[in-house]
Amino acid sequence: MNKDDSQKIKLDGVDRRILHNLQSDGRITNVKLSKLAGISAPPCLRRVRALEEAGYIRGYHADLEAKALGFNVTVFAYVGLSSQAEHDLEAFEAMVGDWPEVRECNMLAGEVDFQLKVVARDWDDYQTFLTTRLTPAPNVSHVKSALSIRTSKSPPGVPIDLDDEG
């Protein structure tokens, strides 16, 4: 399977169990994953590789604790642009893609063009980012900031229905 086939692949129950378990624990061994999926290890590994090649699995990573690493502030910045021409949108996305403190960038429909999830060591650190990088950036017309008080839910990925056969 290749990435062009991802629209044609119909996931069965085994595939969904594999995706569900990998999403919960990216370090799970193939032997344990195969047992949870109800198949033997060699075909399980082949299915994982096929799911990767088809684009269902984008990668594997460690979920790091921001505060333990000194990032005590999370801010959602709502950014309005002066121009919404496609090349201007792409230029903005490329620019924030190079900013390590921006952890997510979502284009929105409505009054705001983008929502950025920004991490900072403290409020002063965020204000410096805001006033020296984000606000003066090309095409940025306005920014509204919302300080996150706490995160009560942040599961990885998407909900996978293990009971659905289609």
Q: What is the tally of structural domains in the chain?
A: 2
| Average pLDDT over every residue of 3-31 | 86
Looking up residue 26, the CATH number of its domain turns out to be 1.10.10.10
Residue 6: the pLDDT is: 47
Q: pTM, whole model, 2 decimals?
A: 0.85
Residue 156 domain flag: no
Residue 81 domain flag: yes
Tell me: pLDDT of 1 over 50. no
Residue 2: the pLDDT is: 46
Q: Are residues 106 and 88 in the same domain?
A: yes
Residue 166 domain flag: no
Q: Are residues 140 and 72 in the same domain?
A: yes
Tell me: pLDDT of 160 over 70. yes
Q: Are residues 72 and 143 in the same domain?
A: yes
Report whether 56 contacts 4 (CB < 8 A): no
Question: Among residues of the chain, what percentage have pLDDT more than 70?
Answer: 93
pLDDT tens per residue across span 75-127: 999 999 999 999 999 999 999 999 999 999 999 999 999 999 999 999 999 99
| Average pLDDT over every residue of 10-38 | 96
Q: Are residues 52 and 78 in the same domain?
A: no
Q: Are residues 76 and 143 in the same domain?
A: yes
Q: For residue 86, what are the domain limits?
A: 67-147
Q: Are residues 119 and 54 in the same domain?
A: no
Looking up residue 75, the CATH number of its domain turns out to be 3.30.70.920
